[in-house]
Amino acid sequence: MRVTNWSGNHTYSSTSVEHPASIEEVQKVVAAAPLVRALGSRHSFSAVADTRGVHVSTAALPDVFVVDHDAATVTVSAGLRHGELVARLDEAGWALHNLASLPHISVAGAVATGTHGSGDRNGSLASAVAGLQLVTADGDRLEVRRGDDDFDGMVVSLGALGVVTAVTLDLVPAFEVRQDLFEHLPWADVADHFDAITASAYSVSMFTDWSETGPHQVWTKSRTDEPPVTELFGASPATRELHPLPGIDPGATTRQLGVPGAWWDRLPHFRLEFTPSAGDELQTEYLVPRTVALDAIDAVRSLGPALRPLLLVAEIRTIAADRLWLSPSHDVDCVALHFTWRQDVPAVEAFLPSLDDALAPFAARPHWGKLFQTSPERLHAAYPRLDDFRALADRLDPTGTFRNDLTDTWLGRRGFPGEPRRLPGSSWETDT
Ligand SMILES: Cc1cc2nc3c(=O)[nH]c(=O)nc-3n(C[C@H](O)[C@H](O)[C@H](O)COP(=O)(O)OP(=O)(O)OC[C@H]3O[C@@H](n4cnc5c(N)ncnc54)[C@H](O)[C@@H]3O)c2cc1C
């Protein structure tokens, strides 16, 4: 039976999904199959996780949870979901510096796609990776640490370098957070006070439909050891709990109204036991350098009439720069412009080139796990280490075990040299 991604917009082409129960089994599967891809919790909207061969889930690998209190790191099983990891960390007195809007995703899947939360001083979730253990194309085990050659290229891997079995993450001491929400922030305030708004709390998210008035909600997540946000320019403090999507019951969201709680129970917008966001949706996201963010926001707003009928909600967040080659926030502090679309695949696909054209002047970098139609030329311009990553992938995976159609397109590949592992039905062209 074919497996789909969480959204249901993509049916994977894999012939089977294996759930190895040991690293040795992972090694055997990888060494034996011509085409392999690791599969996380399937929350990516793009076909980044697809393969025409065998999917390997790391969810059944033996539980790994090793805290190194001196180094302030934890080593965890790659397939662990954030929602399963966080309470254990909190009990040990530690925290991750940030989380995405949902705790349902796997540690390795989040890292492989450059997934992020929000906060001027918060890098992507991948920026916390201090080490990786993986199984490479020949079935060998490889362990790499921050500081090793090419480590910065191996973290946001798009699943193209091997099956990661364990991830070592930097920790910070556990902390508490309160969420204070605001309604109806005028665009004029966004333009005049952008830096003050995003610096007002540890993590800030603005939700909008890009209409004339301005973001309908601003979520501020303040550490309780820092002053909370009590006023926010022309916005009004929310007096009831809210869902980012207007009119939806806020039951699935994390506690608001200034109620303090553990970091893991406030940094995500949504709770593990509920369907995150709208459920029936597609997503796209571009990260632009912070210095051009207001112009990029204006460019998106100018698309309003064509964009709004497709949109459920949009979110504006900030992410600190990191050193990782394929991270959307590589080397530059960024503002992320996120779009949650109605689940109308043909209409969204027809619109995506206009969005890409509007954001191209800002060197916008698309989120690998979401939907976009950026040309390989634009991707190469936006991601200056893309060719270095391709060379790294060719070196670690010379037989193309972990290649797939989408990453081949992104990397500007034309086919397997000599087609050593090309499968019947593959649409890849042959290099001459
Ligand atoms: C409702 C919703 C909300 C979201 N919110 C956010 C958000 O706030 N911020 C954000 O940045 N993104 C967000 N996303 C996107 C999501 O975080 C990413 O797409 C992420 O990759 C999903 O992780 P996953 O475990 O589902 O990975 P999958 O989709 O299963 O796989 C993604 C990639 O990771 C690779 N991979 C997975 N496991 C391994 C492994 N063990 N070894 C090697 N490679 C591996 C796969 O091969 C694939 O290339 C959201 C998605 C949804 C559905």
Fold match, 65-173 / 176-367 = no
Separation CA 232–CA 242 (nearest Å): 17
List the CATH code of the domain at 176-367: 3.30.70.2520
At 343-371, the pLDDT tens digits run 999 999 999 999 999 999 999 999 999 99
Do residues 73 and 35 make contact, with C-beta atoms less than 8 angstroms apart? Answer: no
Q: Which of 105, 156, 317, 406 to mutate to test the pocket of ligand 1 (most atoms within 8 A of CB)?
A: 105
| CB 44 less than 6 A from any atom of ligand 1 | yes
Q: Ligand 1, closest atom to CA 315? A: 8
| CB 105 less than 6 A from any atom of ligand 1 | yes
| CB 118 less than 6 A from any atom of ligand 1 | no
| CB 116 less than 6 A from any atom of ligand 1 | yes
CA of 300 to the centre of ligand 1 (A): 25
Q: Ligand 1, closest atom to CA 116? A: 11
Cβ count near 376 (within 10 Å): 14
Query: 50, 34, 53: which is closest to 401 by C-alpha?
Result: 34
Cβ contacts of residue 336 below 8 Å, gap of 6+? 116, 118, 285, 286, 287, 315, 316, 317, 318, 319, 328, 367
65-173: CATH topology is: 3.30.465
Residues in the chain: 432
Give the pLDDT of the chain (432 residues) as one tens digit per residue: 689 999 999 999 999 999 999 999 999 999 999 999 999 999 999 999 999 999 999 999 999 999 999 999 999 999 999 999 999 999 999 999 999 999 999 999 999 999 999 999 999 999 999 999 999 999 999 999 999 999 999 999 999 999 999 999 999 999 999 999 999 999 999 999 999 999 999 999 999 999 989 999 999 999 999 999 999 999 999 999 999 998 899 999 999 999 999 999 999 999 887 777 767 899 999 999 999 999 999 999 999 999 999 999 999 999 999 999 999 999 999 999 999 999 999 999 999 999 999 999 999 999 999 999 999 999 999 999 999 999 999 999 999 999 999 999 999 886 544 333 333 333 333 232
pTM over 0.85: yes
Domain boundaries, the chain: 65-173, 176-367
Q: Which of 17, 27, 30, 113 to mutate to test the pocket of ligand 1 (most atoms within 8 A of CB)?
A: 113
Q: Ligand 1, closest atom to CA 269? A: 8
